[in-house]
Every structure is written in C-alpha cells, then in structure tokens.
Amino acid sequence: MNKPITILFGTRPEAIKVAPVILKLREKNIPVRVIHTGQHAELADEILRTFDIKPDLRLEMMKKSQTPIDLLQRLLKSLPEWISAEHTGVLLVQGDTTTALAGALTAHHQQVPLAHLEAGLRSGDRSQPFPEEANRTLISHLADAHFAPTASARKNLLAENISPESIHITGNSVVDALQMIVKRSGHSVSEIRGKYSAEKKKLILLTTHRRENFGEPLRQIFEAVSELASRYRDLKILFPAHPNPNVQDLLHLLDHQPSIELIKPLNYLEFVPLMAASDLILTDSGGIQEEAPALGTPVLVLRKKTERPELIESGAGKLIGTDKQKIIEATEFYLQTMNHTGPAEIFGDGNTAERVVQILKEMNR
C-alpha cells in the first residue's frame, strides 16, 4: 500500500486552497493525511468546518504576538517527527507561508518528495510581500513538482532554471473552492445588498491586513476611504475589520462616516456572496485578487506591487498602491465609468484539484 500523501497548511488562505485537493483525494479513495500547524488557528478552523474537513493532526503552533522567525523555528523542531520518508509518500505545501517554507525545508532534509501548489508567483521584490516573496522563491528550489496557476507563473519558474518537466499549469484551486461556495450559497445579490442597506447605493468592499501596509500606508488607505465617503453620499462602504491591533488602532479614522460600516470578519460562506454583490473591491489581499475576477467584481489593489500581473493585464483590476490621492482618483474614475467585465477565468476553471490529484497520484507510485 502506498504511503499517504500528506497535506500541510496552517493559515486561512492555505486552508481555502488545499480544501478542494483534500476533498478530491478522498473522493478518489487515495490515502491522504492532513496536518494543520495552527499558524492561523481560529481563522483556518472556520474554513475547515465550511468544507467539512477534519485534520489528522493539529500542532497548535499559534502563539500570541509571534514573529515569522519564531514560528519557523518551532515548526522545524516539530515537523520532522511527522514528515519522514518512512510514512510520507509526497508532501504538498501551498503558497508562501511560514508553514509552507518549514514544510519544504523538512521534506528536503527528510528526503520526502515535495509538491508545491500555487508555484511561480513573483513580485520581483523581496519586501513586497514580506516575507512571502522570499518564502515562495526558496520553496521553488526545493520542490519536485510545481503546480503553476498560470502561464506567467510557469515563465517565472523557467527564468529561475526550474526543470520544465517538473512544472504543471493547473490553474488555481481557489477557483475550485469559490465555485463550491457559490453553489452552496442560497442568497441572491439583491438579498445581500439589502442586508447592508445598499439597494440603491454603490457598494464598495474594503479589506486590508498586509504587514507591509501597517503604519502610514494603512493611515493613507483609511483617510482615502473616509474622504470618498464624505464626497459621495450614494456609496456604501463595508469593512470587515481584521483583528490585528495594527488595523484596530486606526479604525477611529473611519468611525465618523455614516456610510462606512465596520463589520466583524465574515466566514467564507458569507464573504464570497458579499464579494459577488459588491460593485467594487479595494483590497491588499492576494487571494481576493484571484477571487474577484472569477465573480466578475472589479478590484483595486492596495499594494505597490503584485505577484498576480494577470489581473492587471486582463483589465479586471488595477494596481493603485497606498497613496491617499491615488486611491481617491482611481476609485472616482471607476465610479464614473462603472466598467464591469463579467466573470473571467483568469486564474482557473474550477478543475485544478482534478489535475493536481492526478499528478500527486503519479508521484506517489
């Protein structure tokens, strides 16, 4: 009997993107072992409940005020007990988190074949995003199989002398997850907009949590959004406020505008329909850059650089940075043009998990 394929994750975005792969492996009765490091304990758990996935092992690595290097040290001490050539056929890691890097390093030293989901994303700047850009680059030079979401990601890997035979363009599994949620959602766009009193208003969804935006960039973002709310009375701006203290400490910049509503972070089953119901999304999230075009919602990216150039090239999004005036100008331009392009298969067609599982099965023979 083949040793199980092990899937390692620890954060909410990882959980969303590995969930379709886990479900597909189980559907095909392929032995799989799921390890949750707890890097994002409660946030990832919500996703697991949504997709009815129970980890085989929980490492509870989350510590208050932990730094990436603290977490990396603890993971490298713990993971070799659970990831070894003796009882791991293939290790799958996703993306660019500290959990993924620790898994890749462990697999290398334990001589376990390594597969990388969402391989090849690059911003070209190790500080944008930090530390993820360096994490994913390092993982690429340890992996045996690279599941690139797009042709552009494949091109990035080839430029780093990664073997062409090891690169597979599979699409991004976030689209698989998104389609599952859309099918389960019983709420119409009009119902969602009505819930937030936005029936006759333009609905803007704001999300921001990136480490590199903490401090002055986040202040500029909030001041821009506040100014927009003051200028345009026909706007409804929803902000699921991230619990990070760096975000919470600046919320006072928004609380004097009646058209800005601060809401609790939503679970994925609630958040996906809200993205679909919105007229525009302002975000510094990586995952939302992939999800929004699949739902047909335009997105303005609150970053200086993006590792997802396909969004910009397609016209489904625009990179605007964190300068207050640029945010205002870009949002005003969109509000005046209201250019909806409709859902687009930029990052996947919903069949990524099927492709990934087939390759994992071949690796584990």
Contact call for residues 236 and 204 (beta carbons, < 8 A): yes
Cβ neighbours for 186, distance < 8 A, ≥ 6 positions apart: none
C-alpha dihedral, 245 to 217 to 322 to 292, nearest 10°: -10
Count CB-CB contacts under 10 A for residue 37: 30
Cβ neighbours for 307, distance < 8 A, ≥ 6 positions apart: 121, 122, 123, 129, 133, 286
Active site residues: 96, 118, 132, 209, 211, 242
d(CA 98, CA 132): 8
- List the end-to-end C-alpha distance of the chain, in Å, as a whole number: 10
Task: Give strand pairing partners of 9.
Answer: 36
d(CA 133, CA 193): 36
Element (H, E) at 168: strand 167-169
Contact call for residues 94 and 115 (beta carbons, < 8 A): no
